[in-house]
A and B are shown apart, each in its own frame.
Chain A
Amino acid sequence: DAGVTQSPTHLIKTRGQQVTLRCSPKSGHDTVSWYQQALGQGPQFIFQYYEEEERQRGNFPDRFSGHQFPNYSSELNVNALLLGDSALYLCASSFGDRDYEQYFGPGTRLTVT
């Protein structure tokens, strides 16, 4: 039973570029949440997808957008990258409203230069 997987593991981009991160949820899960974690900080909630729609959103600008596919996998897109976007991006999956059973992926380390 595969857990939450994310790709790529590491990524280096230049300021102003665009990036797409990918997440496959744990088998049986239909809800995907994305978090940004800066070095030494706790994760910050970006948004959550359920039934291919954005169900909740944190305090992140419109440069951050996402998508969920019919197979429940998800993408996080960030446009016009800033140096401050450098962080570990975490994906977590759960089933429906049962976020207490939320499982995290290993994360994607994004570095913006």
Chain B
Amino acid sequence: KNQVEQSPQSLIILEGKNCTLQCNYTVSPFSNLRWYKQDTGRGPVSLTIMTFSENTKSNGRYTATLDADTKQSSLHITASQLSDSASYICVVSAGLTGGGNKLTFGTGTQLKVEL
């Protein structure tokens, strides 16, 4: 069964500090992994997308890493801002026989940045 597990479930940090969110997955066959940011009551917004051959990708203050051997990914946020407060969701895409992909979503890490 395809699964995506994220940790921690929630996190509180002070503004300006860095943090790292974790994602472990058991999805096969692996196609790509993406991180989304979701503000409360809004749709998810894509931060990074990584394929099997990519082990790091950055988007401003967000840097994602991927270890396809251990099936782990992390999202590092540098110099956090109050606007970073949101849920961060790890999504893994598996290729389907005959074409198309199936997405498996993690339950997200709820990040709160405080003054």
Residues of chain B lying within 8 A (CB to CB) of residue A103? 46
Per-residue contact bits, chain A 79-107, to B (CB 8 Å; 1 contact, 0 not) = 00000000010101000010110111111
Whether B43 lies near A55 (C-beta < 8 A) is no
Nearest residue, chain A, Cβ from B33: A100
Number of interface residues of B (CB under 8 A): 24
Cβ of B92 to closest chain A Cβ, rounded Å: 11
Partner of A42, one of B42, B100, B106: B106
Number of interface residues of A (CB under 8 A): 24
Partner of A41, one of B42, B49, B101, B107: B107
Residues of chain A lying within 8 A (CB to CB) of residue B96? 56
Whether B44 lies near A43 (C-beta < 8 A) is yes
On B, residues with C-beta under 8 Å from A are 4, 31-32, 34, 36, 41-46, 49, 89, 93, 96, 99-103, 105-108
On A, residues with C-beta under 8 Å from B are 4, 35, 40-45, 48, 55-56, 88, 90, 92, 97, 99-100, 102-107, 109
Ordered by A's residue number, 25 sampled pairs between the chains whose C-beta atoms are within 8 Å are A41-B108, A42-B4, A42-B105, A42-B108, A44-B105, A55-B100, A56-B96, A56-B102, A90-B44, A97-B99, A97-B100, A97-B101, A99-B100, A100-B34, A100-B93, A100-B101, A102-B46, A104-B36, A104-B44, A105-B43, A106-B42, A106-B43, A107-B41, A107-B43, A109-B41
